[in-house]
């Protein structure tokens, strides 16, 4: 009999972390690898934030804090929601965890009973279905194809709602497609959700600040009729280049917030006191660099999308945000690489691209949609130029 639990057998390790790890290993063995798999900004954490952490250490802020966040950080989060999203929350409607991932995991553990359904639009962030499974729920995958810009079709959403639906997860800007929902898109989805008061909405806004060309961010909690059943998750990882600091947060109904704190009190306790102090500075300090960084990301997106669309067999939409694109490689299925391998799936294509050409990307099937791959352009322009040339010559070499 295996020591490993049955629950654990339901899930798989994160495929994006697996690609990053494989690329790291190939690099360490001396291969010339360009990693386009990682989901983190290549920019450093701004200095004012680092200084706040150093001060916290020097001041002795090195003890346990309140389980789900210090009052001063919760206050900064309340102000953030008011300033940026025009949303009013009380302190007891806020929770802080060790990263956005932790907060979503806790929310699923705190709310799902065996067999509860969670609607997960695909392409999805790789962790959603597995977190639902870990919590005993059933992920219901709602496919959103490229013709609809990888966004939810409201009437198809309605068809996927049942009596057992507990949550729908919304993620805009999206990982892996970069798709962004406008206020109009969200209002159309809201019209459907207004009819089903038993359905809660988890809005994953972690890429809020990575949007381009005047795209106006809108989040579903801004719709008054739904606010009471929305849990809005966000964090400092992507906006402030703080992936390693592990601070994420959410705002929503006090019943859920309290349940999350209960889980956290018996698992991780508080997130790092030093990281919390840094997050206070991130949210309350200057926000100037956010725009500058978004402009840099936009230049990279323009370059990557233009370069990909010049390659025969690849087609790429031009998304409004996040630092990902999700091109189709359907035109290359059936082709053969120089070692004689025939590509039957996107995974075959991606593996050959890594092994023969040293480019690490992630297959679309890992995100629930076959025939695509995800490129993260959160890397230098120099790397992107090299990578696009290599992808082009690789694709042209296929028979």
Ligand X SMILES: Cc1ncc(COP(=O)(O)O)c(C=O)c1O
Residues near ligand X (CB under 6 A): 39, 99-101, 125, 171, 175, 204, 206, 235, 237, 243, 248
Q: Which is nearer to ligand X, 185 or 205 (CB)?
A: 205
3-state DSSP assignment of residue 251: strand
Residue 302: how many other CB atoms lie within 10 Å: 14
Q: What residues form DSSP beta bridges with 96?
A: 249
Nearer to ligand X, 217 or 343 (CB): 217
CB of 204 to ligand X, least distance (A): 5
Q: Provide, rounded to whole angstroms, the least separation between the CB of residue 237 and ligand X.
A: 4
Q: How far is the CB of 205 from ligand X (least distance, A)?
A: 9
Report the nearest approach of ligand X to the CB of residue 366 (Å).
Answer: 13
Cα–Cα distance for residue pair 333/316, rounded to 1 Å: 16
d(CA 259, CA 335): 52
101 within 8 A of 118, measured Cβ to Cβ = no
Nearer to ligand X, 139 or 358 (CB): 139
Q: Describe the chain by its helix, strand, coil percentages, rounded to 5.
A: 45, 15, 40
CA distance 177 to 364: 10
Token duo for residue 190: 């809201």
Q: How far is the CB of 233 from ligand X (least distance, A)?
A: 7
Q: By beta-carbon distance, which residue lies closest to ligand X? A: 99
CA 257 to chain centre: 21
Number of other residues whose CB lies within 10 A of the CB of residue 147:
7
Q: Do 245 and 280 contact (CB within 8 A), yes or no?
A: no
Judged by beta carbon, residue 125 or residue 377, the one nearer ligand X is 125
Residue with tokens 């966004």: 151
Residue number, 137 or 173, with CB nearest to ligand X: 173
By C-beta, is 99 or 371 nearer to ligand X?
99
Strand bridging mode 373-376 / 324-325 = antiparallel
Q: Would you say 144 or 398 has its CB closer to ligand X? A: 144
The DSSP secondary structure of 284-343, one letter per residue, reads HS--HHHHHHHHHHHHHHHHHHHHHHTSTT-B----SBTTEE--B-GGGTT-B-TT--B-
Q: How far is the CB of 107 from ligand X (least distance, A)?
A: 12
* Least Cβ distance, residue 197 to ligand X (angstroms): 26
Which of 281, 287, 367 has the alpha carbon at shortest distance from 48? 281
For ligand X, which is the closer residue by CB, 204 or 337? 204
Backbone φ and ψ of 397, nearest 5°: -80, -5
Q: What's the min distance (Å) between Cβ of 175 and ligand X?
A: 4
The label of the residue with tokens 């359904």 reads 117
Cβ nearer to ligand X, comparing 100 with 358: 100
Nearest approach in angstroms of CB 388 to ligand X is: 23
How many other β-carbons are positioned within 10 Å of the β-carbon of residue 64? 8
């Amino acid at each position: 009999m295996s020591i490993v639990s049955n629950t654990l057998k339901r899930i798989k390790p994160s495929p994006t972390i697996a690609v990053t790890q494989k690329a790291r290993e190939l690099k360490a063995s001396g291969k010339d690898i360009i990693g386009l798999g990682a989901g983190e900004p290549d920019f450093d954490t701004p200095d004012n934030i680092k200084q706040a952490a150093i001060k916290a250490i020097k001041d002795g802020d090195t003890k346990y804090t309140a389980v789900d966040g210090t009052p001063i950080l919760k206050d900064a989060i309340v102000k953030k929601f008011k300033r940026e999203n025009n949303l009013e929350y009380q302190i007891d409607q806020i929770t802080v965890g060790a990263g956005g991932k932790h907060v979503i995991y806790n929310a699923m553990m705190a709310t799902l009973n065996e067999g509860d359904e969670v609607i997960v639009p695909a392409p999805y962030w790789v962790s959603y279905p597995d977190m639902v499974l870990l919590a005993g729920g059933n992920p219901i995958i709602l496919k959103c194809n490229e013709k609809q810009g990888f966004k939810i079709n409201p009437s198809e959403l309605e068809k996927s709602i049942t009596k057992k639906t507990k949550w729908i997860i919304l993620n805009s800007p999206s990982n892996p497609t970069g798709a962004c929902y406008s206020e109009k898109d969200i209002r159309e989805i809201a019209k459907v959700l207004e009819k089903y008061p038993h359905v809660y909405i988890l809005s994953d806004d972690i890429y809020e600040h990575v949007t381009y060309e005047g795209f106006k961010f809108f989040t579903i909690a801004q719709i008054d009729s739904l606010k009471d059943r929305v849990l809005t998750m966000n964090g400092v990882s992507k906006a402030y280049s703080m992936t390693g600091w592990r601070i994420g947060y959410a705002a929503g109904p006090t019943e859920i917030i309290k349940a999350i704190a209960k889980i956290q009190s018996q698992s991780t306790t508080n997130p790092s006191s030093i990281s919390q102090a840094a997050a206070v500075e991130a949210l309350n300090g200057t926000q100037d660099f956010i725009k500058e960084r978004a402009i840099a990301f936009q230049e990279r997106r323009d370059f990557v999308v233009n370069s990909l669309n010049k390659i025969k067999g690849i087609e790429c939409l031009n998304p409004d945000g996040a630092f990902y694109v999700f091109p189709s490689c359907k035109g290359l299925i059936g082709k053969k690489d120089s070692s004689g391998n025939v590509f039957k799936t996107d995974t075959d294509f991606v593996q050959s691209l890594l092994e023969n050409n040293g480019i690490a990307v992630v297959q679309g099937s890992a995100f629930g949609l076959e025939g695509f791959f995800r490129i993260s352009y959160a890397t230098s322009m120099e790397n992107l130029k090299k990578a696009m040339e290599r992808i082009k010559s690789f694709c042209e070499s296929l028979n």
